[in-house]
């Protein structure tokens, strides 16, 4: 998903309009988090706080649905908590930016046996992201969260 805006930063209302117009481009089974929006490169200056406000506004207007997990939204109200785009865990780095490990599959009962499950981890405080196997992603995300001082962009 790409966007060619005329000005940055986009206002919250502009972001809500932008996302509303493109909501059909998301996989209906996908979970959407602020980092999903940041990864979509809607606005290079978009940070966790503003992305979360945009998603919450769309949930309040019924376009998205909240899940029992904070800052995790879905397109369908009947979607179970587990599934594509499920946030397996969320850490914070040294500057309190979110670092998430996300997978297409539910968290296995024995996650440390899931050598072949592809997952992605990404940081809201810097451009760091990587798609790897779960064991590597968990280890790398934890190591990154312990060292990264990237501030959550709060505009
Ligand atoms: Zn980082």
pTM for the model: 0.61
**Which residue, 35, 50, 74, sits at the end of a domain?**
74
Clarify whether residues 64 and 33 are in a common domain. yes
**Is 104 contained in some domain?**
yes
Neighbours of 58 (CB within 10 A): 20
CA 126 / ligand 1 centre spacing (Å): 4
CA 70 / ligand 1 centre spacing (Å): 21
CA 63 / ligand 1 centre spacing (Å): 30
At residue 134, the 3 state secondary structure works out as helix
Clarify whether residues 70 and 114 are in a common domain. no
Clarify whether residues 91 and 140 are in a common domain. yes
Clarify whether residues 18 and 68 are in a common domain. yes
Q: Residue-wise pLDDT tens for the chain (155 aa)? A: 444 555 677 888 888 988 888 888 887 777 888 888 887 767 777 888 889 999 999 999 988 988 877 888 888 776 655 556 778 888 889 988 889 888 877 666 666 566 777 888 888 888 888 888 877 888 899 999 999 999 876 54
pLDDT at 36: 85
CA 121 / ligand 1 centre spacing (Å): 10
CA 89 / ligand 1 centre spacing (Å): 15
CA 143 / ligand 1 centre spacing (Å): 10
**Is 153 contained in some domain?**
no
Q: Which domain holds residue 130?
A: 86-147
Q: Give Cα 63 distance to the centre of its chain.
A: 17
| Cα 99 to Cα 76: distance, rounded to the nearest angstrom | 25
DSSP bridge partners of 47: none
CA 95 / ligand 1 centre spacing (Å): 9
CATH of the domain at 70: 1.10.10
Clarify whether residues 99 and 139 are in a common domain. yes
**Which residue, 74, 99, 117, sits at the end of a domain?**
74
| Cα 118 to Cα 114: distance, rounded to the nearest angstrom | 9
- Residue pair 84/30 in contact (Cβ under 8 Å)? The answer is yes
| Cα 11 to Cα 7: distance, rounded to the nearest angstrom | 10
CA 39 / ligand 1 centre spacing (Å): 13
Rg of the Cα trace of the chain? 15
Neighbours of 75 (CB within 10 A): 18
CA 152 / ligand 1 centre spacing (Å): 9
Identify which of 134, 141, 153, 132 has the alpha carbon closest to the alpha carbon of residue 37: 153
């Amino acid at each position: 998903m790409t966007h060619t805006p005329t000005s940055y930063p986009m206002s919250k209302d502009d972001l809500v309009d932008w996302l509303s117009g493109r909501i059909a481009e998301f996989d209906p089974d996908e979970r959407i988090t602020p980092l999903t929006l940041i990864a979509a490169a809607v606005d290079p200056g978009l940070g966790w706080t503003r992305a979360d406000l945009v998603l919450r506004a769309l949930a309040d207007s019924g376009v998205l649905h909240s899940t029992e997990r904070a800052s995790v939204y879905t397109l369908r109200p009947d979607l179970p908590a587990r599934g594509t785009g499920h946030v397996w865990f969320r850490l914070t780095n040294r500057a309190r930016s979110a670092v998430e490990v996300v997978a297409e599959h539910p968290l296995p009962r024995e996650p440390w046996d899931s050598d072949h499950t592809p997952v992605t981890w990404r940081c809201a405080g810097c451009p760091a992201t990587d798609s790897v196997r779960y064991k590597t992603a968990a280890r790398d995300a934890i190591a990154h969260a312990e060292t990264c001082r990237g501030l959550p962009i709060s505009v």
